[in-house]
Structure 1
């Protein structure tokens, strides 16, 4: 089988190449990849090359396929797994393998296994772990985005709270509590808002901050405050750069927040979060820094006496991904709120290398498509000369500007 894939050869050295995949072994599965969303973690691997903990040292001679947020269709099944999987079956992948303690994962470590490829070979360890997930949904983008959504969900589940005089940790956010998402109008923050409003353990107050007014305004339009109230959540959007001093604490009536998520690796943001924690408040540092010496000051008086606690979460597990897929299929969450750009495999390299400089949310790649990375807001904002593009723009205009199943179908059939 000939595949076309984006492969990593060294620091900032990505190449789009066609090459032949070997025949699958009896414990492997051949799959066609339809969609992959580009993660900032991929950018970090590209700028670090073999210094990255998941990237092998010999990529100059044995390059690895990029992309780990992907979905597609099974093409061929090795004998070992033929009782469980069948050709034509749609799938999602939980990429956080940690198989027998190995850091290797798709999108970083494997020469034939990754999401930025037209065809890929899924190795035995994925099935052994139960991380090849059956997907019954209509649209592939929802399955691709179930990976970042699982990270968000995992963060909510991994927060914890305590009881004075008891040696217990109560896992999860405080139901009916006070929550803040700092730098929360980016792609992961938008997913977190959606989940917080529709999960089975909602906060009573949800404050979302961002210093980018454009991102904050888009979040306001996607998540109406009056609709949030119907879910039992008071939703407030704040630009802390223009808000009065003490406003964020005032929103809690001075008690502080039970759960705070930090979605950007900025020292001032972490220190602000620490100062906003209430009694037994949990700060989840979700944003992974590239600086190995990243530090921030913490009030240890509060850690001792209040007691506040700080943790970090970086990914979800297969149960979190299943929860994401189930909620998407029921229409409880819409991962499309995270997507602001769509492109073909030919746009993947440039998009990955420039990811921090491209504004907006998630960049979604369709591997069978040839198309420049396209800003969905710009696309629908003007009349398109190309009838195929204008038809796509009209679909978006009729869907609040959001990517959707109809848009995906049109793209796959016409590009």
Structure 2
């Protein structure tokens, strides 16, 4: 059958093309992609081309389908998997396969498997590794956002703390501790705030830094400090660019204790060094932001590392358990992954949006692959709605949900473009 997909041929070379998919093998599964959010990791792939560790060296002749934050419907199941999957079943995808020492991953490495398409083929290893997951939520976009949320969840679980009595590590952020999320008013940072407010290791305080009053204002709208207080957690958004002495002022918020868990969400040397200086005794700093520069470095205080047990780590991606948790929490409304989304588009918007991702303001760019639609900021819906009935409906729906994208808005889009979300 034919598919339409955004394929990568090399550095900065993305093309939206229609081509024929081969017949699936007995150990493969054909899927219909409904939504795919654009990840900064795909931008890095596009900029690095064949130098990227997940990129095949023959992509100029065998291009790969990009995109990995996807969800959709199972269309056809090979004989090997007929007892495990069925046509019409909703799915989400864990793209971090870690398969037999290989770095191959959907959205990076496969000619016929990726999220930026109408249909694609899941190879055997995706199912073998339990990475094609059943999804029971109502909205496809929440399953797409399950992958970035799983990365956030993985970071919270991977942080650890030590003690002087034995060599056991207590996994996860510290209960009743202070959490600092640096550069936290972007899409992933807001996802971290949403998750941190309900994490089982309940913190006493979450402090979120940024240098933009505009981003901070939006953050307060979608996750208010009052909402956090209702859960018994103090949530503070602060603009460090307006502080005379950010380190002393941030330290003062904790009464001089420091931060038990620091997450660095922007790959900026000065931010990482500030985070290191703000660590409490036995504090753990997670360098979450992945830099494009392979020589990226920052100075850390090894005196504190030795005497006060501060430690630094980094996480990239989440595992399958993290994705299962993300899907379950989204399905029951415990987290709001929609706080990450600021733009909506169709399959025709993916290539240009991906190539220019850092220069497009806002958060996550969520795309629906079964139709064409220009990439549009949710903040522009109201103005566009003055002349376009579709955007009027979308604007009203988002306003009714704290300005956030939501399941009702997704259904409005599907109805407008004549898409039956259950049709294979």
- Confirm or deny a common fold (TM above 0.5): yes
In 1, are the aligned partners of 2:222 and 2:403 still within 8 Å (CA)? no
Contact 1:380–1:397 under 8 Å retained in 2: no
1:387 is displaced (CA, Å) by: 1.4
Determine the structure 2 residue equivalent to 1:368: 370
Instruction: Compute the displacement of 1:226 (Å).
Output: 1.7
- Select which of 289, 292, 299 maps to 2:291: 289
Aligned partner of 1:395 in structure 2 is 397
**Corresponding residue of 2:421:** none
> Which position in structure 2 is the counterpart of 1:379?
381
1:326-382 C-alpha deviation (Å, 9 max, x unpaired): 111111011111000000000001100110000111000100121100000111255
What does 1:115-194 align with in structure 2 at a 5 Å threshold? 115-194=115-194
2:264 counterpart residue number: 262
TM-score, length-scaled by structure 2? 0.97
2:396 and 2:302 map into 1 onto residues whose CA distance is: 54
Partner Cα distance (1:4, 1:110) in 2: 15
Gapped regions of structure 1 (runs ≥ 5): none
TM norm structure 1: 0.99
- Give a deviation string over 1:120-163, Cα, whole Å, max 9, x none: 00011011111110001110000000000000000000000001
Tell me if 1:11 matches 2:11: yes
Find the aligned partners of 1:381 and 1:239 in 2 and give their Cα distance.
29
Could you tell me how far apart the structure 2 residues matched to 1:358 and 1:186 are?
Answer: 12
- Distance of 2:176 and 2:165 partners within structure 1: 23
Moved more, 394-403 or 156-165: 394-403
For residues 64 and 388 of structure 1, what CA distance do their matches in structure 2 show? 34
SS of the counterpart of 1:99? Answer: coil
Q: Distance in 2 between matches of 1:252 and 1:399?
A: 33
* Aligned equivalent of 1:312, options 314, 317, 326: 314
- Indicate yes or no: 2:417 matched with 1:411: no
Long gaps (5+) in structure 2: 418-424
1:325 is aligned to: 327
Query: By how many angstroms is 1:244 displaced?
Result: 3.9
Residues 227-266 of structure 1 aligned to structure 2 (within 5 Å): 227-245=227-245, 246-266=248-268
- 5 Å-filtered alignment, 1:79-94, equals 79-94=79-94
For the Cα contact (< 8 Å) 1:30–1:75, is it kept in 2? yes
**Distance (whole Å) between structure 1 residues aligned to residue 163 and residue 254 of structure 2:** 21
The separation in 2 between residues aligned to 1:254 and 1:305, in whole angstroms, is 18
Inter-partner Cα distance in structure 1 for 2:386 and 2:81 = 47
Deviates further, 193-202 or 380-389? 380-389
1:182-208 CA deviation, whole Å, 9 max, x = no partner? 000000000000000112222101000
Show the counterpart of 1:56. Answer: 56
Q: Secondary structure at the match of 1:352?
A: helix
Question: Displacement of 1:44 after TM fit?
Answer: 0.1
Distance 1:382 1:95 in 2: 36
2:349 corresponds to which of 347, 364, 379 = 347
| Whole-angstrom CA distance in 2 between matches of 1:244 and 1:47 | 37
Q: Deviations over 1:199-218 (max 9, x none)?
A: 22221010000001111111
Q: Distance in 1 between matches of 2:341 and 2:335?
A: 14
2:305 is aligned, of 303, 306, 314, to 303
1:156 counterpart SS class: helix
Aligned to 1:136, the other structure's residue is in SS state: coil
**Which residue does the alignment assign to 2:420?**
none
Maintained 8 Å contact 2:195/2:335 = yes
Helix, strand or coil: the match of 1:207? strand
1:194–1:334 contact (8 Å) kept in structure 2: yes
Contact 1:380 1:401 in 2 (8 A): no
Q: Secondary structure at the match of 2:141?
A: helix
- Mapping of 1:34-53 within 5 angstroms? 34-53=34-53
- Is the Cα–Cα contact under 8 Å of residues 221 and 402 in structure 2 kept in the other structure? no
Distance 1:75 1:305 in 2: 58
User: Helix, strand or coil: the match of 1:179?
Assistant: strand
Deviation of 1:398 (Å): 1.9
8 Å Cα contact 2:2/2:19 also seen in 1:
yes
Structure 1 consecutive aligned stretches of length 4 or more whose deviation exceeds 4 Å: none
Q: Is the 8 A contact 2:159 2:173 kept in 1?
A: yes
CA deviation after TM superposition for structure 1 residue 300, in Å: 0.5
Which residue pairs with 1:334 in the alignment?
336
